[in-house]
Amino acid sequence: MSTLSSRPRGSRVESDVTKADLDWENLDFGYHKTDFNIRFTWRNGAWDEGELTASEILPLHMAATCLHYGQECFEGLKAFHTKRGDVVVFRIDENARRLGVSCRKIHMEPVPEDMFIDAVERVIKANLKYVPPYGTGASLYVRPIVLGTGPQVGVRPADEYLFMVFVTPVGPYFKSGFKPVHLVVEEEVDRAAPLGVGDVKVGGNYAAGLRASINAKKKGFTEVLYLDAKEKRYLDESGPANFFGITKDGQYVTPASPSILPSITNKSLITLAEELGLRPQRRPVDVEEIFDFQEAGCCGTAAVITPVGSITYRDRKVVYSKDGRPGRYCVELYQRLRAIQLGDMPDKYGWVHRVVQA
Ligand SMILES: *Cc1c(COP(=O)(O)O)cnc(C)c1O
């Protein structure tokens, strides 16, 4: 292991570095160049020690399995400056575990969890000037990916893999702020099959859903809400985010389904919903239940919560927000999760992992 990684966790590193000259308050959710990314290669049965590089370009064999056969998976998490000035990431152990599950499911060499955490810490420390200052609403988005890079022409797993992590400073996911969005129940496209790979974070699922998403936008909706592919009766999730509804009698309901990605944000909201006196339920959710919710939301690392203003299902539409404002449970859940992430509320569940001490 390198000298940088062998430092104890949360050790003192220059955290008062001069920040990059960026308009933090007005950053979009797009790619902005930083100084370094980190790359590890798996070859001859072992991962190497990883190397920081300034290059944004990957040298890639044209017969790499990631290009032909979709041997690719990824993660997404965020780093923040807390009020005290620490740099922290949220529930990184969960991302480390989930990347391993994704790798195994599509026969790629899994990235050991401690190597994952070490890689994320090294790349954040190398790009400290891009971690947005506390109070700006922005964050440093961390994108780990694993690629099958060994050449194959026949359909079989690669014999070489690349694990890399890049970071990019991002503003809030929705430029318009915490405003309710409009969903349409998708009936013509399936994102994932029950026994497929919808429960892991592989790129192919996103390619499969692009046409549904683009079509919905053309019709004036923000995103689609997928139904289960088998019965077309139960809710799955909304494109890149999990879905939840708040029933009129105070349940936090979120779909149990073999074809949705187990969101770490959703798992955290379930815990926080209980604190608010809501009763969390993860179970199959019949599409007809949308007409009985008092509120609904989408959740994921990028946006935390996106309040849902309306859902259109065939020729019926249910409206949760008449005045363009989010419901109280969406607001309270959002504020609680953000407060824990930013160190404004005690981290009583041990979700916050310190990368750099102020
Ligand atoms: C990443 C992702 C989510 C959100 O997961 P988080 O762990 O909360 O970021 C939801 N759905 C899909 C399909 C995803 O890829």
Provide the pLDDT for residue 324.
86
pLDDT in the model for residue 6: 40
CA of 164 relative to ligand 1 center, distance in Å:
19
Nearest atom within ligand 1 for CA of residue 299: 8
Residue 19: active-site member: no
Sequence ranges of the chain with CATH classification 3.30.470.10: 24-171+352-356
**Inter-axis angle of helices 264-275 and 92-105, nearest 10:** 140
Q: What is the pLDDT of residues 167-224, one digit of tens each?
A: 999 987 666 678 899 999 999 999 999 999 999 999 999 999 999 999 999 999 999 9
Report how far ligand 1's centroid is from the alpha carbon of 120 (Å).
Answer: 18
CATH number of 181-326: 3.20.10.10
Q: Which of 33, 129, 201, 322 is catalytic?
A: 201
Alpha helix ranges (H) inside the chain: 65-68, 92-105, 113-126, 203-218, 264-275, 328-341
DSSP state of 69: S
Count Cα neighbours of 282 within 13 Å in the Cβ-side half-sphere.
16
pLDDT in tens, 95-113: 999 999 999 999 999 999 9
3 state SS of 259 = coil
CA 240–ligand 1 middle distance (angstroms)? 6
Token reading at 61: 């064999």
Residue 172 CA, distance from chain mean position = 13
Pocket of ligand 1 (CB under 6 A): 76, 201, 237, 240-242, 261, 263-266, 300-301
Atom in ligand 1 nearest the alpha carbon of residue 267: 8
- The closest of 104, 138, 125 to 23, measured between CA atoms, is 138
Pairing of strands 251-255, 242-247: antiparallel
Atom of ligand 1 nearest to the CA of 301: 9
Q: Is the pLDDT of residue 9 over 90?
A: no
Per-residue pLDDT at 322: 83
Give the Å distance between the CA of 4 and the centre of ligand 1.
Answer: 30
Pocket probe for ligand 1: among 261, 266, 272, the residue whose CB has the most ligand atoms within 8 Å is 261
What pLDDT sits at residue 62?
98
**Residue 307: per-residue pLDDT:** 96
Q: What pLDDT, on a 0 to 100 scale, did the predictor assign at position 16?
A: 59
Three-state SS string over 318-336 comes to EECCCCCCCCHHHHHHHHH
Q: How many residues does the chain have?
A: 358
Going by C-alpha positions, the residue among 354, 33, 286, 323 that lies closest to residue 169 is 33
Question: pTM for the whole thing?
Answer: 0.94
CA–CA–CA angle 144, 146, 151 (5° rounding): 155
- Locate the ligand 1 atom nearest the alpha carbon of residue 266 and give its number: 8
The confidence band for 2, taking pLDDT boundaries of 50, 70 and 90, is very low
Instruction: Give the C-alpha separation, 209 to 226, whole Å.
Output: 10
pLDDT (0 to 100) of residue 8: 43
Q: How confident is the model over 245-251, as a mean pLDDT? A: 97
Quick one: tokens of 16? Answer: 């008062």
Please tell me what DSSP assigns to residue 186. Answer: E
List where CATH 3.20.10.10 sits in the chain. Answer: 181-326
pLDDT at 303: 87
**pLDDT (average), residues 270-291:** 98
The CATH number of the structural domain formed by 24-171+352-356 is 3.30.470.10
Backbone angles phi, psi at 323, to 5 degrees: -105, 15
State the Cα angle at 207 between 316 and 311, rounded to 5°: 15
Q: Which of 107-121, 162-176, 276-290, 307-321 has the lowest mean pLDDT?
A: 162-176
Q: Which protein residue has the closest C-alpha to ligand 1 atom 10?
A: 241
Q: What's residue 3's pLDDT?
A: 39
Q: Which residues pair with 168 in a beta bridge?
A: 141
